[in-house]
Amino acid sequence: MVVGTGASGSMAADGVEERKQMSALIVDDNSVIQKIHKVIMTKLGFETQVVDNGKMAVDLHTSGCSFDVILMDMEMPVMNGIEATKELRAMGVETMIVGVTACSLESEKQAFKEAGLNECFVKPLNMEEAKSLVKKLNKEDN
Amino acid sequence: MRDIRPSGRRDNTRGERKYGLFQVISPSRSAKTGLPLWLLGLGVDRLRTDMSRLLALLFHQGVLDEQFLQLQQLQDGSCPNFVSEVINIYFHESEKLLRNLRGLLSDREFSDYKKMGIHLNQFMGSSSSIGAKRVRNVCVAFRAASEQNNRAGCLRALELLEHEYCYLKNKLHEFFQIEQQRVLAAGVRYPIQN
């Protein structure tokens, strides 16, 4: 369980502000994608957690967890990415939610974005796209 | 470089002298093969060439696309077996999906095309993720047939999908076998000295 926002810092003994490790929640029912996204985010310094569907992502937040970024698949069993994103936003979750979808239809991607995404990419995420997310997170933090 | 003598002992059924791993008999010869190290270097280079040729063939045939290269770029010291781990997960998941698809279509009364679509989306997603271009393309055609509730078309697509998947799996196995040989050969090439 990851608690607390990763972006906040604390003062070390020598007065230098320490930056907490950032955290990423990977929401996808595909084991191959889970593995790839986990490795990419870990390489960028994120602590990662992986869940198989949107409901598990919502339940994590209901129990008090928070993350710096959520990678959200669109098509999942139990609760899909669109429903999960809507629920999270309705709960007041302001975390960056990045949609990753195999679907190339603009209309479906648009529906996903309108659910409350900050960004949407075709899966799998590549390193350059992930780095651009880190830049955006650092900008927001500053 | 010191001349390290073997401390071999005859302890296998063939009576061969068994050396501790990576003990060097002479500065320029491998204890394991007796070959000069420069020749072993050629073996590593040859294996590397074989791997490149196989990959080039698979790209030329459209079996793989640049996504496979993206996976290779993610592999490094922190995750040295990343590509083979991802591919093994892909094989495991794909075979499960193929069994599910075969199971659905073997039922003459089958009508749950929505379930078939879910399996195909999974297959498409993971195939795209590893760069399995031809498998992915067959999944697209398969999905089109399932969206038209075309059972005969789905059966034909399934046969083609199984064929493409088998070909991909065999070629990737070949690729990883060569890589394994290359790693072993590179290890012999650079022996650790006690």
- Of the candidates B79, B118, B126, the beta carbon closest to that of A32 is on B126
Name the more confident of B76 and B32.
B76
Provide the CA B143 distance to its chain's centre, in angstroms.
27
Going by pLDDT thresholds of 50, 70 and 90, the confidence category of residue B30 is: low
Name the more confident of B189 and B10.
B189
**Percentage of chain B lying above the pLDDT 70 cut:** 75
At a CB cut-off of 8 Å and minimum separation 6, what does B92 contact? A31
DSSP state of B76: B
* Phi, psi dihedral angles at B76 (to 5 degrees): -155, -165
How is chain B split into domains, by residue range? 3-38, 42-186
Q: Which residues of A touch B93 (CB under 8 A)?
A: 30-32
* Strand-strand pairing, B9-10 and B17-18: antiparallel
Give the chain A residue nearest B130 (alpha carbons): A32
**Under a CB-based contact definition with an 8 Å cutoff, are residues B17 and B6 in contact?**
yes
Distance CA A11, CA B111 (A): 62
* Phi, psi dihedral angles at A82 (to 5 degrees): -65, -50
Tokens linked to B41? 């270097």
* Pick among A32, A35, A123 to test the B interface (most B CBs inside 10 A): A32
Question: What pLDDT was estimated at residue B31?
Answer: 55
Do residue A102 and residue B82 have CB atoms under 8 angstroms apart?
no
CB contacts < 8 A (A, B):
51
Question: What pLDDT was estimated at residue A108?
Answer: 82
Give which of B167, B165, B159 is closest to B142, Cα–Cα: B159
Domain B42-186: CATH superfamily, name plus number = HPT domain (1.20.120.160)
- Of the candidates A32, A40, A123, the beta carbon closest to that of B74 is on A40
What number is the average pLDDT over the span B11-16? Answer: 42
Do residue B93 and residue A31 have CB atoms under 8 angstroms apart?
yes
Q: Which residues of B touch A75 (CB under 8 A)?
A: 118, 121
Q: What angle do CA A55, A58, A62 make, to 5 degrees?
A: 135
- Of the candidates B92, B118, B125, the beta carbon closest to that of A33 is on B125
Q: Say whether pLDDT at B24 is over 50.
A: no
Distance CA B70, CA B110 (A): 39
- Of the candidates B82, B92, B122, the beta carbon closest to that of A30 is on B122
Question: What pLDDT was estimated at residue B1?
Answer: 40
Question: What pLDDT was estimated at residue B81?
Answer: 93
pLDDT digits (tens, 9 = 90+) for B90-118: 999 999 999 999 999 998 888 889 999 99
Q: Is A33 on the interface with B (CB under 8 A)?
A: yes
Question: What pLDDT was estimated at residue B185?
Answer: 86
Give which of A85, A92, A100 is closest to A55, Cα–Cα: A85
Average pLDDT along chain A, 142 residues, taken 10 residues at a time: 40 53 95 96 96 98 97 94 97 96 80 94 90 88 66
DSSP B21-55: TT--SBTTB-TTT--BHHHHHHHHHHHHHHHHHHH
Chain B residues with CB under 8 Å of a chain A CB are 67, 70-71, 73-74, 78-79, 82, 85-86, 89-90, 92-93, 118, 121-122, 124-126, 128-130
- Of the candidates A29, A35, A75, the beta carbon closest to that of B86 is on A35
